[in-house]
Amino acid sequence: MSLHSMNALLAEALACANLPPAALNSAGAGEITVHGLAVGLEYTEKDERLVLYCSVGRLPAEVSSDIYEFLLETDLFGAKLGGGHLGLYAPSRTLLFSLGLETETLTAARLANAFSRFAEQAVTLIKDMEEHLAARAGSVDVTPFTANMLWV
């Protein structure tokens, strides 16, 4: 699917979900807001894959092993994440939740549903991280993560 076609599908999906319009830039990156959550988008035309991602918190400098255990258990096969995954962007210690979508058979209705489900899951993850980290380090920083990611 061309970037132009992906932008048309994105526009239709956002309208279907009653979300504000947005578009991917020439590099295939963009950002939308779903239920108050900033969600980054990256489309790779070559792979026909759209990735949704957002920050779910930042790890403090020192983290107990139970936090890592929680993260690994949550990410096991993506089963508790609706097929999404957790990862760490090391330079800022930002925990990212991401979901990759194959665009070959993606429809506007499916994409609109994916936006909603992704945001719901992200909010749950943010709350879970706050609970796990609050006892150790106080508040959790969930500022939007909007840097372009390198997906290989």
What are 15-41's pLDDT values in tens digits?
A: 999 999 999 999 999 999 998 899 999
Give strand pairing partners of 110.
none
Residue 150: the pLDDT is 45
Q: Is the pLDDT of residue 99 over 90?
A: yes
How far, in Å, CA of 7 to CA of 45, rounded? 11
Look at the chain and report how many structural domains it folds into. 1
Instruction: Establish if 150 belongs to a structural domain.
Output: no
Instruction: Establish if 143 belongs to a structural domain.
Output: no
Instruction: Establish if 151 belongs to a structural domain.
Output: no
Q: Is the pLDDT of residue 148 over 80?
A: no
**For the whole model, what pTM was predicted?**
0.82
Instruction: Establish if 148 belongs to a structural domain.
Output: no
Instruction: Establish if 127 belongs to a structural domain.
Output: yes
Alpha helices in 17-93 (DSSP H): 65-75
In which domain, by residue range, is 44 found? 3-137
Alpha helices in 46-149 (DSSP H): 65-75, 108-137
Instruction: Establish if 149 belongs to a structural domain.
Output: no
How far, in Å, CA of 32 to CA of 52, rounded? 10
The CATH number linked to 99 is 3.30.1460.10
How, if at all, do strands 37-44 and 49-58 pair? Answer: antiparallel
Asked if 55 contacts 96 with a C-beta cutoff of 8 angstroms, the reply is yes
